[in-house]
């Protein structure tokens, strides 16, 4: 377990760095209605693993071989956390999943009301693109690279990406019968933002086109493995470690990987996806591939 602890510690350091950046991510000089700003930061500061921004820093460093310029990587890392956060705020709305709590805290609309939750989600989403544009300042990346990142983010978070995954999930609900449909949802709902994170990090670190493709494979596979592992933990996990009740998927009649292909085949799938993710990283010939490999292992060995 000592290996896993090292990567956990590393991810915690990344999370702390991201959180200190998030605090100052909305220009103080801007005249923003007080309650709107409060609503945005309520959810931005509600915690979580900060996995996506950590993957940006980690991929940039893997490609470059040394710490990539924070002037470029931190704004983009904040941007992906803004996108992730807005998606949770809108997902929790009564018209969507109708959740009152997230990570033990009241959801945004329970505190600020539905209208403000819709608007602060919109504001978080919009500001993500402002942050990406900042990455080209202060000797960060070139305007071309920043614009590539804008394009990737808009695609992977938009209609053909994360929002598409959410829509398919909502439209499918109990009606999903094939592994292909379930995979579409997970690939877009979960993997696409992870693919964005590792490829944006790759672009910041100066990856070649081939390396970006391999990072995409890595991201897609760890995203999918992460999601299947979530399904597995819901069945066989330890409630205390998870911090939530198990068997909730079964109780809610949710269609999951274990439901469709069985627990053993789900575990084998996680193993296969993780190996493929690691192979892609090894094939890419990065200067410092270790942390990307460790993160792939950590995500599926985790017990919460």
Between residues 11 and 80, which has the closer beta carbon with respect to its own copies?
80
Among positions 40, 63, 182, 232, the unique one binding its own copies when judged by CB under 8 A: 40
Q: Where are the alpha helices (DSSP H) in 237-262?
A: 239-242, 248-251, 257-261
Stretch that binds its own copies, among 36-44, 224-232, 246-254, 280-288 (CB under 8 A): 36-44
Between residues 32 and 236, which has the closer beta carbon with respect to its own copies?
32
Mask for 76-115, x = binds its own copies (CB under 8 A): ----------x---x--x-xx----------------xxx
- How many DSSP H helices and E strands does the chain contain? 16, 2
Between residues 16 and 171, which has the closer beta carbon with respect to its own copies?
171
To the nearest whole angstrom, how small is the minimum distance from the Cβ of residue 87 to its own copies?
8
To the nearest whole angstrom, how small is the minimum distance from the Cβ of residue 27 to its own copies?
8
Between residues 137 and 272, which has the closer beta carbon with respect to its own copies?
137
- Measure Cα distances from 56 to 25, 67, 79, 110, 161 in Å: 17, 11, 10, 32, 18
Stretch that binds its own copies, among 28-36, 222-230, 262-270, 280-288 (CB under 8 A): 28-36
CA dist., res. 271 & res. 277, Å (int): 10
Closest Cα to residue 215, out of 83, 55, 74? 55
Q: Is 33 a binder of its own copies (CB under 8 A)? A: yes
For the chain, the helix, strand and coil percentages under 3-state DSSP, each to the nearest 5: 75, 0, 25
Give residues with Cβ within 8 angstroms of 271, minimum separation 6: 300
To the nearest whole angstrom, how small is the minimum distance from the Cβ of residue 29 to its own copies?
9
To the nearest whole angstrom, how small is the minimum distance from the Cβ of residue 152 to its own copies?
9
Residue numbers 115-174 binding its own copies by CB under 8 A: 115-116, 118-119, 121-123, 125-130, 132-134, 136, 142-144, 146-148, 150-151, 153-155, 157-160, 163-164, 166-168, 170-171
To the nearest whole angstrom, how small is the minimum distance from the Cβ of residue 155 to its own copies?
6
CA dist., res. 98 & res. 103, Å (int): 15
Residue pair 94/109 in contact (Cβ under 8 Å)? The answer is yes
CA dist., res. 215 & res. 144, Å (int): 20
To the nearest whole angstrom, how small is the minimum distance from the Cβ of residue 21 to its own copies?
17
Strand partners, 102: 105
How many residues touch its own copies under the rule CB under 8 A: the total is: 57
To the nearest whole angstrom, how small is the minimum distance from the Cβ of residue 246 to its own copies?
27
The Cβ-side half-sphere exposure at 48, using a 13 Å CA radius, reads: 18
Closest Cα to residue 223, out of 276, 264, 177, 173? 276
Backbone angles phi, psi at 139, to 5 degrees: 55, 30
Q: Report the interface residues with its own copies, using CB under 8 A.
A: 26-27, 30-33, 35-37, 40, 86, 90, 93, 95-96, 113-116, 118-119, 121-123, 125-130, 132-134, 136, 142-144, 146-148, 150-151, 153-155, 157-160, 163-164, 166-168, 170-171, 184
């Amino acid at each position: 377990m000592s290996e896993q602890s090292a990567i956990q510690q590393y991810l915690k350091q990344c999370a702390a760095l991201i959180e200190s950046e998030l605090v100052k991510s909305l220009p103080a000089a801007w005249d923003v209605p007080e309650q709107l700003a409060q609503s945005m930061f309520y959810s931005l500061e509600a915690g979580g693993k900060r996995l996506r921004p950590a993957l940006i820093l980690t991929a940039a460093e893997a490609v470059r071989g040394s710490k990539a310029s924070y002037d470029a990587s931190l704004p983009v890392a904040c941007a992906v956390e803004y996108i992730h956060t807005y998606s949770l705020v809108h997902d929790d709305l009564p018209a969507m999943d109708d959740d009152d709590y997230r990570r033990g805290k009241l959801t945004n609309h329970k505190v600020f009301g539905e209208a403000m939750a819709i608007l602060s989600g919109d504001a978080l989403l919009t500001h993500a693109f402002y942050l990406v544009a900042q990455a080209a300042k202060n000797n960060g990346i070139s305007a071309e690279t920043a614009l590539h990142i804008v394009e990737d983010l808009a695609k992977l978070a938009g209609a053909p990406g994360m929002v598409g995954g959410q829509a398919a999930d909502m439209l499918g609900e109990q009606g999903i019968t094939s592994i292909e449909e379930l995979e579409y949802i997970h690939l877009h709902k979960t993997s696409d933002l992870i693919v964005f994170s590792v490829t944006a990090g790759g672009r910041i670190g100066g990856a070649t086109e081939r390396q970006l493709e391999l990072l995409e494979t890595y991201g897609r596979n760890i995203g999918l493995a992460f999601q299947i592992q979530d399904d597995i933990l819901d069945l066989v996990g330890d409630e205390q470690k998870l911090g939530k009740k198990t068997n909730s998927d079964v109780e809610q009649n949710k269609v999951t990987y274990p439901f469709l292909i069985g627990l053993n085949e789900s575990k084998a799938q996680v193993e296969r996806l993780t190996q493929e993710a690691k192979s892609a990283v090894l094939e890419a010939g990065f200067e410092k591939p270790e942390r990307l490999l460790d993160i792939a292992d950590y995500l599926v060995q985790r017990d919460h």
